[in-house]
Amino acid sequence: MHPKDLTLDELLEQFAQERRNGRRIVFTNGCFNLLHPGHIRTLEEARALGDVLIVGINSDASVRELKGRERPLIPEQERVEILAALECVDAVVIFDEPTPRELIAKLLPDVLVKGGDWADDQIVGREEVEAAGGRIVSVPVLPGYSTTELLQKACESDAAGGPPGPSGSKTNS
């Protein structure tokens, strides 16, 4: 278990002191099935909005419920390890539910961050965070990077007999 991999109780205990010290808590969440540059940019931008970044990730069961039985490709503990290795991430917590609403309602971060592909009225936890005086921030999505799109490209490339090149076309190497 990585030191940044916390249970909800550990997270609440550890970051209660951060709050008392006036530090701004930022929260974001996702499946993080295949970490890509779009994820990294979102996480770095989220971290820049506060003093502490907590990342909630869907459990394996939750990912299967949302994305289908063939996912996740990377088991939850490995996804935690990858995210925890990032300097911009202070803590990672796994949640089993399809959405992080319950987790967000308990954490009540100062800032809730989602990618710009989410409409404001679709951001889970928005009501709870805003009612507690927090704010919602949408960060722009890096075009061309989504796990679903990357998996589709990989499957198409495999079916075509080779890896895609930088622009998505096959290369000869």
Q: Quick: pLDDT tens for 17-40.
A: 899 999 999 999 999 988 888 889
Dihedral sign for Cα atoms in the order 120, 124, 129, 131: positive
DSSP state letters, the chain: --TTB--HHHHHHHHHHHHHTTPPEEEEEE--SS--HHHHHHHHHHHTTSSEEEEEEE-HHHHHHHH-TT--SS-HHHHHHHHHTSTT--EEEEE-SSSSHHHHHHH--SEEEEETTS-GGG-TTHHHHHHTT-EEEEEPP-TT--HHHHHHHHHHHHHHTS-B-TTSSB---
Give the pLDDT score at 147.
59
Domains in the chain: ranges and CATH: 8-142 (3.40.50.620), 143-173 (no CATH)
Q: How sure is the predictor about 93, in pLDDT bands with cuts at 50, 70 and 90?
A: very high
Q: Is 28 left (phi over 0), alpha (psi -120 to 50) or beta?
A: beta
CA angle, residues 165, 42, 62, in degrees to nearest 5: 90
Distance from first CA to last CA of the chain, Å, rounded?
A: 39
Q: Quick: pLDDT tens for 32-74.
A: 988 888 889 999 999 999 999 999 999 999 999 988 888 888 9
CB 10 within 8 A of CB 94: no
State the pTM of this model: 0.82
Give the whole-angstrom CA distance, residue 44 versus residue 164: 28
Burial annotation 120-145 (CB, 10 A radius, 16+ → b, else e): eeebbbbebbeeeebebbebebbeeb
